[in-house]
C-alpha cells in the first residue's frame, strides 16, 4: 500500500471527505481496493475497429453479430473437438440470427425438446468462454434482467461437478418445459455477441453510398460501449442537420447519385416533392445523362423512375454548385477562390476556363443559371432548398442521430495508446505540421484538431454568438486543409460536367506520402502525447487496394489504414468487403471480410462472411486491464482509496459508522 504524509492527506481532505460517504470505513474501502487490484490483473477487453461503413447496414450488422469472425472462432475453441464443421456453423448462425434461425429449426426439427437442451447446453459453454475474462460484476451487467439469475447460475456452475450435475441439468430442463427456451436462446446469443466485443471504435464514414446509414446509427445507439471519429461524410450530414444549405444540397445530391431515397424519405422523413416538381419543370426535355443514378443490383427502378431521379439529381447538383459558389465568395478567409467555377463558363460555347485552360463541358442546358449572377438561386430553387432545410432541421430521428454523433464522437481520439482519426493531418511536404488558418488564426496538428472539434460543437449547439457558423461542417467536408478530407480539392463539378478527365483528379495531401515513413508516424504519436514505440495511428478514408497487393499496414506497423471497402461501390477497388481491426490481450489482428450476401442466405444456407484473420502484432506479455486507459483511472481510484484508508488509520478522518 502507498504511504501518505499528513500534508498529502490535508491537501486532499475535501475530496477524501466526499469519498468517505461512499466508503465509510476501513473495511469497505479496503475491499474496494482489493476488488480494483484484482480487476487490474484481468486480461484487457477486446476492442474492434471498423471504418467506412457507408450505409451498408446488412454487412455491418453481420460483422457486429459474428464479431468479425470471432464468435465462430470461440465456438471452435470450446466445442471444436466434439462438433462437426456443419454443427459449428449451425450454432454460429443461431448466435448471429437467433430469431430467424429458431423459426427455421422449429419447422424442420423432429425432436425439438432434445434440440433445445443440447443447444442451450452448448450456448452456455460458449457464453462461459466469452465471459471468462471479465469480473462477475461486469458479466452480471451484461445479462438481461429476465434471465439474469439463471444465466449467472449456469455460467458459474460446472455441469460436470458431481454434486451440482442434477441441479444444472434441471435448470435447463425447466427452461425448456416452461416454454422459455426461445427467449433464453435469443437473450444468451445477444450476451455472447456483447461480451465478444468489449468496446467498438468507428473510424468514420457511417453515412452515404449504401442505403442504410440510419439503420446503422440505430444499431450503434444500442451498443453498450463505443466511440466514433467523424468522417467527412458524417460531418456532411451533421452540417445538414445543423441547417447548412451547402451541406444539405450535397447530402441530397449524394443520395440521388446512389438512388437512395429510402434514407431521406423513410429514414428521416425528408420531403423530396418540391425538388421533384422543380426538376420536372426545369429539365423536362433534358435526358440529364450525366446524372443517371448508380443503381444497386438488387433494386428495381422503372425507366420513368430513372428519368425523374436523373432530373432531380441534376437539379440539386446545380443548386449545390450555386450555394457553394456563394459560400466561397462570402468566406474569403477559406482561400479557395480557385473553386469558383460557375463564373468561368462560357455558357454559349459550353466551355469552361480552369487555370487558364479551356475545357469542353458535356452539358449545355443550364436553364436556371443567369450568366451574370451565376451564384443566384432561382425563386423555385430557393424555395426547394428552404423546404429541404426545414425538413432536415425538423427531422427528429436525424437530430437524435446527430446528437449521438456529437456525444460519442470527436475529430480524433487517444485510446489505449493508439491515435484514431478518419483521414489525415494537414502537413507540409517536408514532414512539418501545416499551419492552417481558422477564423483568422493559425493552428496546427493537435491544437488544430482540438479547435475544429470545438467549433463543430459550437456550430451545432451555439446560440448564434459564435464566430463560426455551420459552414465549418462544409469546410470539414471538402476543404483542402480539412483533416477529414485530405485532398487538394473535391472535384464534384468537374466529375459531372467537364469532359477532360484530367480535371477530375483529386490529389491527396502530403500526409499520405509521408505516412509510409515510420519516423513521421512516430512524430505524430509523440505530438499527441502517445508512446511512439507502442502506439499506432488508425485511419480509414482511403480504400486499401488489397487486390493489388497494397497493405493496410504502413510505417513499419505504426500506422494502419483499415478502409477495406464495406461500400459495395468500392469493392472493385479493394477486392475485399471490409476490414475489422481487433485489439485483444494478445495483440493486434486484422480480419478481412469477403462480401456479405444476405441475412436469408446466412440463415438458410449457413453462409457466413468468410473472414481471414491475420496477426499484425503479438505482445510478449498478455495485456492486462492495468495496461489500459481504464487501468490508469482504476489506479488513480486505488491511490485515493488507499489515502482514505491512511486518513482513517491516522485519525485525520473519522470512520462513518
Ligand X SMILES: O=P(O)(O)OC[C@H]1O[C@](O)(COP(=O)(O)O)[C@@H](O)[C@@H]1O
Contacting range for ligand X; rule: CB under 6 A; set: 311-319, 432-440, 490-498, 587-595: 490-498
Q: Which lies closer to ligand X via its Cβ, residue 466 or residue 573?
A: 573
Report in angstroms how near the CB of residue 506 gets to ligand X at its nearest. 5
With H, G, I as helix, E, B as strand and everything else as coil, classify residue 315. helix
482 binds ligand X, rule: CB under 6 A: no
Report in angstroms how near the CB of residue 205 gets to Mn ion at its nearest. 4
Q: Which of 210, 255, 245 is nearest to 57 (CA)?
A: 210
Report in angstroms how near the CB of residue 150 gets to ligand X at its nearest. 46
Contacting range for ligand X; rule: CB under 6 A; set: 26-34, 170-178, 408-416, 485-493: 485-493
C-alpha cell at 284: 423536362
For 473-627, where are the E strands, in sequence order? Answer: 537-539, 553-554, 559-561, 579-584, 587-593, 611-618
Considering only residues 529 through 548, tell me which ones interact with Mn ion, judged by CB under 5 A.
541
205 binds Mn ion, rule: CB under 5 A: yes
**Torsion-angle region of 588 (φ positive above 0: left; ψ -120 to 50: alpha; else: beta):** beta
Residue 342's contacts (CB-CB under 8 Å, 6 or more residues apart) are 321, 322, 325, 369, 374, 375
Contacting range for Mn ion; rule: CB under 5 A; set: 173-181, 227-235, 263-271, 363-371: 227-235
Contacting range for ligand X; rule: CB under 6 A; set: 108-116, 350-358, 488-496, 546-554: 488-496
Q: Which lies closer to ligand X via its Cβ, residue 62 or residue 209?
A: 209
Is residue 564 within 8 Å of 551, Cβ to Cβ?
A: no
Considering only residues 513 through 532, tell me which ones interact with ligand X, judged by CB under 6 A.
none
Contacting range for Mn ion; rule: CB under 5 A; set: 127-135, 225-233, 238-246, 598-606: 225-233
Contacting range for ligand X; rule: CB under 6 A; set: 118-126, 333-341, 397-405, 486-494: 486-494
Q: Which of 60, 66, 100 is nearest to 190 (CA)?
A: 66
Q: Which of 219, 218, 271 is nearest to 248 (CA)?
A: 271
Please count the residues of this chain forming the interface with ligand X, following the rule CB under 6 A.
10
Q: Which of 409, 408, 404, 411 is nearest to 453 (CA)?
A: 411
Residue with cell 459449428: 88
C-alpha cell at 374: 451565376
Is residue 647 within 8 Å of 619, Cβ to Cβ?
A: no
Report in angstroms how near the CB of residue 505 gets to ligand X at its nearest. 10
Is residue 154 within 8 Å of 168, Cβ to Cβ?
A: yes
Q: Which residue is nearest to ligand X (CB)?
A: 232
Among 182, 363, 450, 506, binds ligand X (CB under 6 A): 506
508 binds ligand X, rule: CB under 6 A: no
487 binds ligand X, rule: CB under 6 A: yes
Among 187, 205, 234, 494, binds ligand X (CB under 6 A): 205
Residue 554 binds: one of Mn ion, ligand X, none (C-beta under 5 to 8 A by kind): none
Q: Which of 545, 556, 607, 604 is nearest to 579 (CA)?
A: 545
Residue 172 binds: one of ligand X, Mn ion, none (C-beta under 5 to 8 A by kind): none
With H, G, I as helix, E, B as strand and everything else as coil, classify residue 540. coil
C-alpha cell at 311: 432530373
Q: Which lies closer to ligand X via its Cβ, residue 205 or residue 627?
A: 205
Rounded to whole angstroms, the Cα distance separating 185 from 568 reads 33
Q: Which lies closer to ligand X via its Cβ, residue 193 or residue 482?
A: 482
C-alpha cell at 282: 426545369
Contact letters for Mn ion, residues 230-249 (x by CB under 5 A): -xx-----------------
Is residue 394 within 8 Å of 387, Cβ to Cβ?
A: no
213 binds Mn ion, rule: CB under 5 A: no
Query: Binding residues for ligand X, per CB under 6 A?
Result: 205, 209, 232-233, 487, 490-492, 506, 541
Query: Binding residues for Mn ion, per CB under 5 A?
Result: 205, 231-232, 541
Amino acid at each position: 500500500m502507498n504511504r501518505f504524509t499528513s500534508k498529502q492527506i490535508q491537501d486532499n481532505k475535501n475530496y477524501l471527505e466526499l469519498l468517505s460517504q461512499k466508503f465509510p470505513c476501513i473495511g469497505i474501502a479496503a475491499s474496494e481496493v482489493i476488488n480494483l487490484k484484482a480487476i487490474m490483473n484481468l486480461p484487457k477487453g477486446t476492442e474492434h475497429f471498423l471504418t467506412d461503413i457507408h450505409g451498408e447496414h446488412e454487412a455491418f450488422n453481420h460483422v457486429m453479430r459474428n464479431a468479425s469472425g470471432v464468435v465462430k472462432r470461440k465456438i471452435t475453441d470450446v466445442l471444436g473437438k466434439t462438433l462437426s464443421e456443419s454443427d459449428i456453423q449451425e450454432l454460429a448462425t443461431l448466435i448471429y440470427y437467433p430469431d430467424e434461425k429458431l423459426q427455421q429449426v422449429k419447422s424442420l426439427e423432429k425432436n425439438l425438446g432434445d434440440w433445445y437442451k443440447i443447444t442451450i447446453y452448448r450456448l452456455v459453454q460458449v457464453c462461459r468462454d466469452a465471459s471468462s475474462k471479465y469480473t462477475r460484476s461486469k458479466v452480471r451487467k451484461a445479462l438481461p434482467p429476465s434471465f439474469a439469475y439463471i444465466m449467472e447460475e449456469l455460467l458459474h456452475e460446472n455441469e460436470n461437478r458431481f454434486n451440482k450435475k442434477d441441479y444444472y441439468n434441471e435448470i435447463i430442463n425447466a427452461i425448456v418445459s416452461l416454454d422459455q427456451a426461445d427467449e433464453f436462446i435469443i437473450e444468451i446469443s445477444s450476451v455472447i455477441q456483447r461480451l465478444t466485443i468489449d468496446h467498438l471504435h468507428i473510424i468514420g464514414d457511417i453515412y452515404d453510398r449504401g442505403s442504410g446509414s440510419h439503420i446503422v446509427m440505430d444499431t450503434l445507439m444500442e451498443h453498450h460501449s463505443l466511440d466514433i471519429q467523424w468522417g467527412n461524410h458524417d460531418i456532411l450530414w451533421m452540417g445538414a442537420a445543423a441547417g447548412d444549405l451547402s451541406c444539405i444540397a450535397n447530402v441530397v445530391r449524394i443520395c440521388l447519385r446512389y438512388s437512395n431515397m429510402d434514407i431521406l424519405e423513410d429514414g428521416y422523413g425528408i420531403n423530396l416533392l418540391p425538388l421533384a416538381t422543380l426538376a420536372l419543370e426545369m429539365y423536362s426535355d433534358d435526358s440529364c445523362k450525366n446524372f443517371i443514378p448508380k443503381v444497386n443490383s438488387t433494386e428495381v427502378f422503372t425507366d420513368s423512375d430513372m428519368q425523374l431521379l436523373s432530373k432531380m439529381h441534376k437539379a440539386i447538383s446545380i443548386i449545390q454548385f450555386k450555394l457553394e459558389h456563394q459560400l466561397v465568395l462570402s468566406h474569403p478567409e477559406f482561400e479557395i477562390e480557385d473553386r469558383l467555377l460557375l463564373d468561368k463558363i462560357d455558357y454559349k460555347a459550353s466551355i469552361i476556363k480552369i487555370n487558364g485552360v479551356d475545357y469542353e463541358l458535356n452539358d449545355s442546358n443550364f436553364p436556371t443559371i443567369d450568366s451574370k449572377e451565376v451564384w443566384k438561386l432561382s425563386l423555385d430553387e430557393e424555395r426547394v432548398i428552404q423546404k429541404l432545410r426545414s425538413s432536415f432541421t425538423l427531422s427528429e430521428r436525424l437530430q437524435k442521430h446527430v446528437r449521438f454523433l456529437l456525444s460519442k464522437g470527436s475529430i480524433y481520439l487517444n485510446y489505449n495508446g493508439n491515435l484514431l482519426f478518419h483521414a489525415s493531418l494537414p502537413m507540409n511536404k517536408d514532414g512539418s505540421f501545416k499551419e492552417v488558418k481558422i477564423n483568422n488564426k493559425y493552428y496546427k496538428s493537435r491544437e488544430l484538431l482540438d479547435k475544429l472539434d470545438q467549433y463543430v460543437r459550437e456550430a451545432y449547439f451555439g446560440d448564434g454568438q459564435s464566430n463560426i457558423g455551420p459552414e465549418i461542417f462544409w469546410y470539414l467536408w471538402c476543404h483542402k486543409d480539412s483533416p477529414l478530407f485530405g485532398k487538394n480539392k473535391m472535384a464534384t463539378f468537374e466529375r459531372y460536367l467537364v469532359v477532360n478527365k484530367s480535371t477530375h483528379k483529386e490529389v491527396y495531401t502530403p500526409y499520405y506520402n509521408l505516412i509510409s515513413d515510420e519516423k513521421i508516424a512516430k512524430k505524430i504519436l509523440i505530438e499527441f502525447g502517445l508512446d511512439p514505440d507502442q502506439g499506432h495511428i488508425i485511419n480509414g478514408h482511403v480504400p486499401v487496394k488489397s487486390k493489388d497487393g497494397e497493405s493496410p499496414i504502413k510505417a513499419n506497423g505504426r500506422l494502419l489504414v483499415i478502409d477495406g471497402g464495406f461500400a459495395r461501390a468500392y469493392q472493385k477497388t479493394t477486392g475485399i468487403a471490409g476490414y475489422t481491426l481487433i485489439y485483444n490481450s494478445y495483440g493486434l489482428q486484422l480480419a478481412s471480410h469477403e462480401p456479405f450476401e444476405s441475412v436469408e442466405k446466412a440463415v438458410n444456407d449457413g453462409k457466413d462472411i468468410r473472414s481471414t484473420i491475420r496477426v499484425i502484432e503479438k505482445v510478449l506479455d498478455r495485456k492486462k486491464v492495468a495496461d489500459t486507459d481504464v487501468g490508469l483511472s482504476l489506479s488513480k481510484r486505488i491511490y485515493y482509496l488507499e489515502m482514505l484508508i491512511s486518513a482513517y488509520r491516522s485519525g485525520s478522518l473519522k470512520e462513518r459508522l
